[in-house]
Amino acid sequence: MKALVFNTFGGPNVLEYTEIGRPVIRPDEVLVKMKAIGLNFADIYRRKGNYHLAGEPPYILGYEGAGIVEKIGANVGGIKVGDRIAFADVPYANAELTAVPFEKAIPVPEQISLNDAASVLLQGLTAHYLTRDSYAVKENDVVLVHAAAGGVGQLLIQIVNLLGGKVIGLTSSSEKAAAAKEAGAEKVYLYQDDWKSQVLESTNGKGVDVVYESVGSTLSDSFEVTRVGGTVVFYGMAGGDPALVDPRMLMDTSKTLTGGDLWNVLTSREERVIRSRELFRWMEEGKVRVAAPTIFALKDGQEAHRYLESRKSTGKILLIP
């Protein structure tokens, strides 16, 4: 089968589209013919050598995708050949075929395209747990979303809206601000402006109820625009490490700092199926819309990586075998 591999860490040029052996499935796995593969920043970190990576060279990136079941392991029940499944956390997905453990195989409803399933699972389930578990969004909550035009950002905006909250978005350009507003943000401010003053002014000096903080280096700023008794949810550091948080500040302002990581939530097949089922239902009902992805052929993986690293994209990038 064909796969996108690399033998040494480095830039996009280390990626090679080449022939490798087909995966041999274990009794508790299914073999999936890949139709769409999600590209994420984690793949870039792994390619550079600064993020955990499964296996030995030649390395195969990709942890998210969707496809058709081609073969079933001896111990697998409840899935048959021809079923449409997706996954968010299975390695070696940058290939024509992927071995997927049964517990990580998520059924895809007929109404949901495989491209949409591959576009939404990782980021959609992240937005789901952030708004359901890390901080349960309530009616009329004012929510600040960092990187509001990104994949998780746009989904956060939509889910906050359907749960009755109101969103203020932060992003880096007028083009991305337009994307955040299209997703449903009431107001969007730019990082290069005095966004803290703008957020406080828009909340009459009170501050927001919760901040979804994915930049990292802006963590202290996020606390400054959070109301007394409010919450900051820290779930990423795309802009660098955060400054240390003073516990005395948390005590004096009754504010809460909580962390979030999807892998602490997706601990069983039941969790995966229940959460994805609600996400897919919201999509079927038109309450959550997945922006049209940017599509590259899997063989053009180098180009796709360069595009993602350019930070020009506002939605999902898919690789198609």
Can you read off the two tokens belonging to residue 316? 């999902």
Task: For residue range 239-277, list pLDDT tens digits in order.
Answer: 888 999 999 999 999 999 999 889 899 999 999 999 999
pLDDT at 140: 98
Contacts of 234 (CB under 8 A, 6+ apart): 213, 216, 219, 242, 257, 258, 259, 260
The CATH code that applies to domain 139-259 is 3.40.50.720
CB atoms < 10 A from the CB of 252, how many? Answer: 10
Query: 277 near 270, Cβ under 8 Å?
Result: no
How many whole angstroms separate alpha carbon 66 and alpha carbon 106? Answer: 9
The predicted structure's pLDDT at residue 314: 67
What is the residue type of 238? Answer: A
Structure tokens at 301: 């993986």
Residue type, position 201, single letter:
E
Whether residue 306 contacts residue 12, with contact meaning beta carbons closer than 8 Å, is answered with yes
Name the strand (E) or helix (H) holding 185: none
Single-letter amino acid, residue 55 = G
For residue 300, count other CB atoms closer than 10 A to its CB: 17
Here the tokens at position 295 are 């599509």
Residues of the chain with pLDDT under 50: none
How far is the C-alpha of 141 from the C-alpha of 135, rounded, in Å?
11
List the alpha helices (DSSP H) in 23-165. Answer: 41-48, 114-129, 151-162
**155 neighbors 288 (Cβ within 8 angstroms):** yes
Could you give the CA distance from residue 3 to residue 230 in angstroms, rounded to a whole number? 47
CB count within 10 Å of CB 221 equals 19
The pTM (predicted TM-score) of the whole model is 0.91
295, containing H or E segment: strand 294-297
Q: Which CATH architecture has domain 2-120+266-320?
A: Alpha-Beta Complex (3.90)
Per-residue confidence (pLDDT) for residue 270, from 0 to 100:
95
- State how far the Cα of 314 lies from the Cα of 321, in Å rounded to an integer: 22
Burial (Cβ within 10 Å: 0-12, 13-18, ≥19) of residue 92 = buried
Domain extents for the chain? 2-120+266-320, 139-259
For the chain, the first-to-last Cα distance in angstroms comes to: 10
Residue holding tokens 């940058």?
94
